[in-house]
Amino acid sequence: MLESPMEVASYKRHIYTALSAVLLLATASSVSAATGLSDTDYCQDNAQDQTSSYTYQSNLQQTMNCMLIQLEPYQQADKTPHQRYSAYKAQAWLTYAIHQDSINSHTSDGAYAAHAAEFLLQSLKNDTVDQIDLFQDLPDTSALMRPDLWATLGALKDSNGIASAPREIAFSEIALIWAATNQCERGWRESSPHFRMADRWLEQAREAYVNANDSESNLALQPLIVRYFEQYSPLDMAGKDTCQGQPIESISTDLSPLSAATINMPTPIATYNIIY
């Protein structure tokens, strides 16, 4: 068992680096060539869905649509907050990968997103998703921008906000990663709509949190947001438009044995139009 916060952080970074290397080595000239996803793995139980009115542009898109269908049971109210949150993140990442495939992208982002979504789906199926850390280091093709939004996201996570707003928190997180990637690759005009999207999701998440909790918890949220903002502000890369990946850590020092053993899975770059 890991015994100190320093050992936990080192372990998490080691796992993140190893998984990132595996995913990046898997990428090729296009998303469809790089993911290695097979429709035989995910579409056998969805034969009727494959013959629906949806027109697939590639076998990969058909496979990922089957994966989206398999995520739906984990998004229902009878599942745990961590299961629902993880399922919604996988949904966002798959939708991004579908987008990248539809535009015949030659970057690694789509393959990264597809692999990370598959990792989450398999973790949900194996009932091991609770071992995945809520705080994820940013990949090399993204960066921390808009520390005010990241601060709200971090405070909500630390306050068990996924219990009241798993979808909103998951979507806002991926939107922030996507926005920073777009800013590094194409400039602020491409990132602004996605930062606004993240802002809207976080507004909804905070409203849901306030409605679901007592006054004491609600009063404690704002000071926690301030603490996160103070931690994240020095890391802001918006003025430099540089994406090199960054660690994202919880400021909580109360590490239980369970949290000390969790794995911080890599966060892919996610560009998506959310499928409702």
pLDDT digits (tens, 9 = 90+) for 219-240: 999 999 999 999 999 999 887 8
Q: At 47, is the pLDDT very low, low, confident or very high (cuts 50, 70, 90)? A: low
Q: Return all residues near 163 (Cβ < 8 A) that are at least 6 apart.
A: 81, 212
95 with 273: CB under 8 angstroms? Answer: yes
- Say which residue, 46 or 25, is predicted with more confidence: 46
Query: At 228, phi and psi to the nearest 5?
Result: -65, -40
Residue 271 has pLDDT above 50, yes or no: no
The structure's pTM equals: 0.76
Question: Which range among 116-125, 163-172, 189-198 shows the weakest confidence by mean pLDDT?
Answer: 189-198
Query: Could you tell me the residue ranges of all domains in the chain?
Result: 1-133, 138-246
Q: Which two tokens stand for residue 35?
A: 């993911």
Q: Specify whether the CB–CB gap between 257 and 1 falls below 8 A.
A: yes
